[in-house]
Amino acid sequence: MSEKIKVGILGYGNLGRGAELAISEQPDMELVAIFSRRGPVETVGKNVKSLHIDDATDYVDKIDVMILCGGSATDLPEQTPAFARLFNTVDSYDTHALIPEYFESVDKVSQASGKLNIISVGWDPGLFAINRVMSEAVLYKGKTYTFWGKGLSQGHSDAVRRVEGVKAGVQYTLPSDEAMDEVRSGENPDISKSDGHKRECYVVLEEDADPKVVEKTIKTMPNYFDEYDTTVHFITEEELERDHNKMPHGGFVIHSGQTGTENNNQIIEYSLKLDSNPEFTASVLVAYARAAHRLSKEGQKGAKTVYDIGPGYIHPKSPAELRKGYL
């Protein structure tokens, strides 16, 4: 039995907690410590070491990979280049438009430090991105569609809650079944984001509120709802707490391609149905932490993305075991 991979977690919100739980399921990893700006935090597991972020520098020789669980807006652009000097890392940077410059800023550091740093890991970017690229590579003549949901949208839930007469509420984005069926038929239609998605709101009313007025205000809200097929359900506070307390998400990547002289339809579809978005994203990060450690041990360095990494590197078994049992 080879030595376990020593993992650290930096940042302890929903994603950090998910990473803690995912590491505990792995046969070949041990969690060394959790680091937070808040100092020691209350962890899910017992006997988990929790320290202030400033103590991380003492762990350079005790941690093989640091999982960076901060946010993309302000944490990661600062933390990843700083920690890539000291540690192999994985992160979930997801500001799509800024990924190229983020990659450069991390790569510059890790080329000098000799560390291996995998950026933008998760499901989108991440697993969805892999499927978009592989499908297009295999069926070059074709079109790729991404649908999101069923997923809880924070921004749209906030918008619903700002409506007068709304006491509490949540909003889910759902893919349109009709649009997906059209794509699956191989017709390669043009589909706008609003044609491809529906919105569902679950709303608790203030006592004196008029449901008709609230429903109309939501459905006609510009930018948020007016262009979408929107449904508003009125529920009680108890129902909201009981049925809408999770953070589900998911989606579909569908590639419709054509091959041969007869233009045969070939459909590749990848989908996720997640009861907990942060726990799943954290699970992807933890699997890629394994890859960061293995690639670093092979002598590789620099910033990497999921595109650079062979699928076998994220699985605990060896290449020979995978060839025997999974190919």
Distance CA 258, CA 163 (A): 47
Stretch that binds a second copy, among 52-60, 68-76, 197-205, 306-314 (CB under 8 A): 306-314
From the CB of 312, what's the least distance to a second copy, in Å? 3
* Nearest approach, Cβ of residue 85 and a second copy (Å): 22
- CB within 8 Å of 66: residues ≥ 6 apart: 7, 8, 9, 10, 56, 83, 87, 88, 89
Q: Which is nearer to a second copy, 25 or 238 (CB)?
A: 25
- CB count within 10 Å of CB 139 equals 19
Over the window 173 to 212, marking each residue x when it contacts a second copy by CB under 8 A and - when it does not, the resulting string is -----------x----------------------------
Find the farthest-apart pair of alpha carbons in the chain and give their distance in angstroms, rounded: 67
CB of 323 to a second copy, least distance (A): 5
CA-to-CA distance for 91 and 122, rounded, in angstroms?
8
**Cβ 61 to a second copy, closest distance in Å?**
27
Mark out the alpha helices in 41-176 (DSSP H runs).
75-83, 99-113, 127-138, 154-161
Based on CB atoms, which residue is closest to a second copy, 22 or 232?
22
Place of tokens 């038929």: 185
Q: Which stretch binds a second copy (CB under 8 A): 59-67, 197-205, 223-231, 312-320?
A: 312-320
Displacement of CA 67 from its chain's centroid (Å): 14
The yes or no reply on residue 1 touching a second copy (CB under 8 A) is no
Contact letters for a second copy, residues 231-260 (x by CB under 8 A): ---------------x----------x-xx
| H-state helical runs in 200-259 | 211-219, 237-243
- In the complex with a second copy, the residue whose CB is nearer, 129 or 205, is 129
Contacts with a second copy, 6-45, as mask; x by CB under 8 A = ------------x--xx--xxx----------------x-
Sheet of 151-152: strands edge to edge? 151-152, 166-175, 197-205, 229-234
CA distance 314 to 229: 40
Binding of residue 214 to a second copy (CB under 8 A): no
CB of 269 to a second copy, least distance (A): 5
Check residue 323 for interaction with a second copy (CB under 8 A). yes
Query: Could you tell me if 163 and 217 are in contact, meaning their C-beta atoms sit under 8 angstroms apart?
Result: yes
Query: Taking CB under 8 A as the criterion, which residues in 124-163 touch a second copy?
Result: 125, 127, 129-130, 132-134, 136-141
Report d(CA 159, CA 35) in Å as an integer. 34
Q: Which stretch binds a second copy (CB under 8 A): 50-58, 160-168, 218-226, 311-319?
A: 311-319
Q: Which of 131, 176, 159, 155 is nearest to 268 (CA)?
A: 131
Are residues 239 and 206 in contact, defined by beta-carbon separation less than 8 angstroms?
A: no
Q: Which residues contact a second copy (rule: CB under 8 A)?
A: 18, 21-22, 25-27, 44, 96, 99-100, 103, 120, 125, 127, 129-130, 132-134, 136-141, 184, 246, 257, 259-262, 264-276, 279-280, 283-284, 287, 290, 305-312, 314-316, 319-320, 322-324, 326-327
